[in-house]
């Protein structure tokens, strides 16, 4: 037989010795060294049918998880419930517990609760990923130059600020927004344009059913002003037929920021925006954003 030297022990003698060593608890390497067998195929045949000793079995990382999955399955848990509980894939659970009896059909209430738990896990993972992308993207911005802030402000105003129409000339600079961060950027832009704080007027627009006093204090603190210096708050009437979603502590209505003596500033903003549109239209070297 291949692997046996002439004059050496027969195959049956080697197998008998190999089995005896195996039952004594020796490893494959120890048996190979004692029998002086260098051929792995021959060693496999010599040990065929003899299980390895327990001490040679390396514990697998998922053994504990597998045992837990089987225990839960025996308790009547469904695959999707075990998946949510252990955080492992359904395919792995199916492989581990496919020989176990199937649990009885679950009630609609139980099915709904399991589905809700699974959805909550999915939402949590999505939120974690959203925060990672948001943080990474914020770091890509770095510091803003004056020109960058200037261009951002022009676009911000033209998107959210009041604009004069051909059928209604109204060259006022008025900005309304519910996002405090938008207000911060807009005020930074006005400061860059040398618009002094004494030319600014603030007021609040909010639904009449909200906490108006608390909202006025919030916006006043944000823009570093006294509530007494704010203009009259505009209240939106409540329509009982309408179901409002803008409720709760986070609802603060909108802040209105008006600039006095602003006709010339409005015309400049209009011109700046026209320049941006023209410059963007004439670009022929557009490349993919490096981010």
Of 15-19, 122-126, 139-143, 260-264, minimum mean pLDDT range: 122-126
Average pLDDT rounded to a whole number, residues 75-81: 84
Query: Does residue 216 sit in helix, strand or coil?
Result: helix
**Angle at alpha carbon of residue 100, lines to 99 and 101, rounded to 5°:** 125
48-62, 70-84, 262-276: least confident range:
48-62
For the chain, give the percent of residues with pLDDT over 90. 41
Give the number of other CB atoms < 10 A from CB of residue 214.
10
3-state secondary structure of 217: helix
> Is-contact 70 100, C-beta < 8 A?
yes
Cβ partners under 8 Å of residue 101, min gap 6: none
**Average of per-residue pLDDT across 166-187:** 94
Contact status, residue 223 vs residue 187, Cβ threshold 8 Å: yes
- Please report the pLDDT score of residue 55 as a whole number: 64
pLDDT of residue 288: 64
Whole-prediction pTM: 0.58
Question: What per-residue confidence (pLDDT) applies to 226?
Answer: 94
pLDDT digits (tens, 9 = 90+) for 233-291: 999 887 766 666 666 678 899 999 999 999 999 999 999 999 999 999 887 666 666 56
Mean pLDDT, the chain, integer = 85
């Amino acid at each position: 037989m291949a692997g046996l030297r002439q004059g050496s022990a027969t195959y049956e003698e080697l197998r008998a010795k190999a089995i005896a060593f195996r039952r004594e608890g020796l490893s494959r390497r120890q048996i190979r060294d004692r029998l002086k067998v260098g051929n792995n195929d021959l060693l496999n045949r010599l040990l065929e049918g003899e299980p390895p000793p327990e001490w040679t079995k390396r514990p697998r990382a998922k053994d504990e998880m597998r045992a837990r999955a089987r225990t839960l399955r025996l308790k009547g848990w469904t695959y999707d419930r075990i998946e949510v509980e252990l955080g492992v894939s359904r395919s792995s659970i199916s492989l581990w517990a496919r020989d176990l009896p199937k649990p009885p059909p679950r009630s609609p209430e139980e099915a709904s609760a399991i589905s809700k738990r699974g959805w909550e896990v999915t939402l949590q993972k999505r939120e974690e990923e959203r925060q990672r992308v948001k943080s990474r993207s914020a770091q890509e911005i770095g510091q803003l130059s004056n020109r960058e802030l200037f261009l951002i402000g022009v676009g911000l105003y033209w998107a959210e600020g009041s604009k004069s129409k051909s059928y209604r000339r109204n060259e006022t600079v008025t900005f309304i927004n519910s996002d405090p961060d938008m207000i911060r950027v807009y005020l930074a832009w006005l400061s860059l344009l040398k618009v002094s704080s004494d030319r600014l007027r603030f007021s609040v627009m909010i639904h009449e059913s909200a906490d108006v006093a608390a909202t006025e204090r919030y916006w006043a603190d944000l823009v570093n002003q006294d509530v007494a210096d704010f203009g009259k708050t505009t209240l939106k009437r409540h329509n009982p037929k309408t179901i409002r979603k803008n409720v709760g502590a986070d609802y603060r209505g909108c802040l209105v920021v008006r600039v006095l003596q602003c006709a010339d500033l409005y015309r400049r903003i209009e011109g700046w925006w026209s320049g941006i549109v023209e410059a963007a239209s004439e670009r022929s070297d557009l490349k993919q954003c490096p981010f």
